[in-house]
Amino acid sequence: MKRLFCVVMIVGIVSVLSAVASAQVKKGKTRVLTTKQMMSGLIKPNCAGIGEGLKAAPADDKAWDELATKAALLNESSFILMDDGRCPDAEWANASKALRDGSATVLTKIEAKDYAGAQEAFKVVTGSCAACHKAHKK
């Protein structure tokens, strides 16, 4: 009887813990934005926009400016990923840091109109997506 009670307790604790962990991955603790919405509405469009925009050297100041905005928004998203109890573990934190550092370097290169440098730094950004998705995207 005591043993059964232990098993029931352990199953209960494990299921509560895994519910908490998945809640943190899919959404923060208090704010409404889901991770899915952040990905599809903020991170993906800005990442894809930079990828498109760097296929050829940007034509004019306006094109460089638009790329700078996208890089800055991606950088901001790396902070949101870490806010509100959304981060479950070190892999998430490391990928968010890579996104932050990579997008900051992309922005610096864009501001310097360094096309090759921006392309190179963008690889760190796309690497961060892959690293986090491998661990956390079901």
50 vs 64 by CB, closer to ligand HEC: 50
Q: How many CB atoms lie within 10 A of CB 23?
A: 14
In the complex, minimum distance from the CB of residue 48 to ligand HEC, in angstroms, rounded to a whole number: 7
Rounded Cα gap, residues 126 and 105, in angstroms: 13
107 binds ligand HEC (CB under 6 A): no
3 vs 27 by CB, closer to ligand HEC: 27
Location of structure tokens 């986090």? 132
Among 54, 106, 110, 125, binds ligand HEC (CB under 6 A): 125
Rounded Cα gap, residues 36 and 31, in angstroms: 14
Which residues, in sequence order, are bridge partners of residue 27? 34
Interface with ligand HEC (CB under 6 A), residue total 21
136 binds ligand HEC (CB under 6 A): yes
Residue 27 sits at φ, ψ, to 5 deg, of -165, 155
121 vs 125 by CB, closer to ligand HEC: 125
Tokens matching residue 124: 């760190």
Among 54, 67, 81, 107, binds ligand HEC (CB under 6 A): 81
3-state helix, strand, coil in the chain (%, to 5): 80, 0, 20
Rounded Cα gap, residues 26 and 16, in angstroms: 16
Among 26, 29, 113, 123, binds ligand HEC (CB under 6 A): 26
What residue ranges bind ligand HEC (CB under 6 A)?
25-26, 35-36, 39-40, 43-44, 47, 81, 92, 95-96, 99, 125, 128-129, 132-133, 136-137
